[in-house]
């Protein structure tokens, strides 16, 4: 073969190899398919991986990448992460919604009317945000709330607040060191654990406008109805029904050691209660003047803006809207974190009696406001309770809560 023919032959081989390589790369890319990246906390890694892979198996060529993050860092990192490593879907808390939506970091979610009926309206409202028109930004998967835990060997389960007050004080007076109601506050205060007392007296954080959206200019910390009932707080302080000096460990130890017949806590202590050997029941605290409903923490899944950047927006929306919302997925995801499912059908399948009781204790609860202005509420509201229930030298409740309302209004501006 002469040199010209050898060169021609080599060119044919080279060109063929080049196109074969391209074809191989295209085939590999197609075989790999799109990847959906999900950020999740350690507790739910296994459950989320299982649920996501079940969904992916029904979508040929799709893979999922479950990345473990510290739960609190998911919100803060979303605004600074590089797009190349950003998540398409995140597990998040409902009270992140306002800030994330306002910053354009999460996308609206669309659920069918049939799916929406499987969720209490307040769980969907928890993930809804909008100044003029509210939009849904997440599918709720679990609910977290406190309840009144009663040692049924030491006291009867109260059906009225008057009964609770009477039994709690009677137990307190039986022996030095006993507590009436073990509810945590401590020097920094705890507006979350005190919320059933607050709601029961007619208190609220923010009102709503005509469109049904939270209105940060309508601060209900010292509204007329609450102030009318505030003298009851002064009465409770005087008789020692609640005491601001009680912190988390004090409240827990008192109940476990039978130095308190009533303890206000949440499902994070379910295992402790179950292994305590105590006979107990969890209920919602009885109404005072109004229903004494707890704050609700709702967690769920959100689609981030990066799903569109990565070209997987339709997949992310399908996973969150159509799969995470199903009863089977809801049950698996909620139980993985020891919480009650948001989906009511899934809730009926919870067989753990303690978790089921906490779930019932949260019915009608108030989701913590998900607007950014809520950050200006916690410290002042907690401090008002501390000032009004610290025993000797306490500030009159009406005075303490009026001051808190003014301070909150100044912070919000």
Give the Cα separation of 165 and 153 in Å (integer): 17
Query: Length of the chain, please?
Result: 413
| Strand ranges in 41-84 using DSSP code E only, listed in sequence order | 63-68
Give the Cα separation of 131 and 94 in Å (integer): 17
- With beta carbons less than 8 A apart as the criterion, state whether 338 and 267 touch: yes
Q: Which two tokens stand for residue 404?
A: 């808190």
Q: What is the pLDDT of residue 32?
A: 64
Q: Which two tokens stand for residue 4?
A: 């010209």
In this structure, the strands spanning 35-40 and 63-68 are parallel
- With beta carbons less than 8 A apart as the criterion, state whether 390 and 382 touch: no
Please state the φ and ψ torsions of residue 289, each to the nearest 5 degrees: -105, -45
Could you read off the pLDDT of 23-76 as tens digits, one per residue?
Answer: 344 333 334 689 999 999 999 999 999 999 999 999 989 999 999 999 999 999
Q: Which parts of the chain have pLDDT scores under 70?
A: 1-32
Give the Cα separation of 83 and 99 in Å (integer): 19
Q: What is the pLDDT of residue 213?
A: 85
Burial code of 178-194, b = ≥16 C-beta within 10 A, e = fewer?
A: bbbbbbbbbeebbbbbb
pTM of the model as a whole: 0.86
């Amino acid at each position: 073969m002469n040199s010209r023919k050898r060169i021609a032959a080599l060119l044919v081989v080279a060109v063929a190899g080049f196109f074969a390589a391209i074809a191989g790369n295209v085939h590999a890319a197609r075989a790999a398919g799109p990847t959906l990246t999900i950020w999740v906390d350690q507790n739910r890694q296994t459950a989320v991986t299982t649920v996501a892979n079940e969904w992916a198996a029904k979508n040929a060529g799709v893979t999922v990448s479950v990345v473990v993050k510290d739960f609190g860092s998911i919100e803060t990192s979303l605004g600074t992460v590089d797009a190349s490593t950003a998540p398409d879907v995140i597990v998040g808390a409902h009270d992140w919604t306002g800030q994330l939506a306002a910053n354009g970091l999460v996308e609206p979610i669309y659920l069918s009317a049939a799916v929406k009926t499987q969720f209490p309206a307040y769980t969907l409202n928890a993930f809804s945000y909008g100044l003029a028109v509210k939009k849904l930004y997440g599918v709720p998967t679990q609910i977290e709330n406190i309840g009144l835990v009663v040692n049924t060997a030491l006291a009867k389960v109260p059906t009225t607040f008057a009964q609770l007050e009477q039994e709690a004080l009677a137990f307190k007076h039986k022996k030095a060191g006993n507590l009436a109601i073990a509810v945590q506050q401590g020097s920094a205060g705890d507006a979350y654990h005190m919320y059933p007392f607050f709601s029961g007296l007619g208190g609220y954080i923010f009102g709503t406008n005509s469109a049904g959206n939270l209105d940060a200019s309508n601060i209900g910390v010292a509204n007329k109805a609450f102030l009318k009932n505030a003298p009851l707080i002064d009465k409770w302080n005087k008789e020692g029904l609640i005491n601001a000096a009680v912190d988390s460990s004090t409240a827990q130890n008192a109940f476990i050691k039978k130095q308190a017949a009533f303890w206000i806590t949440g499902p994070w202590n379910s295992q402790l209660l179950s292994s305590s050997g105590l006979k107990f029941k969890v209920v919602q605290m009885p109404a005072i003047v109004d229903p004494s409903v707890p704050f609700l923490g709702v967690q769920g899944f959100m689609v981030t803006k990066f799903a569109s950047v990565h070209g997987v927006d339709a997949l992310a929306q399908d996973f969150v809207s159509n799969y995470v919302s199903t009863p089977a997925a809801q049950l698996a995801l909620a139980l993985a974190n020891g919480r009650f499912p948001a989906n009511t059908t899934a809730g009926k399948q919870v067989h753990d009696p303690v978790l089921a009781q906490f779930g019932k204790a949260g019915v009608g609860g108030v989701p913590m406001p998900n607007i950014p202005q809520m950050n200006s509420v916690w410290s002042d509201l907690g401090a008002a309770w501390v000032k009004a229930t610290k025993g000797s030298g306490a500030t009159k409740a009406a005075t303490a809560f009026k001051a808190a309302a003014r301070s909150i209004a100044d912070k919000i501006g």
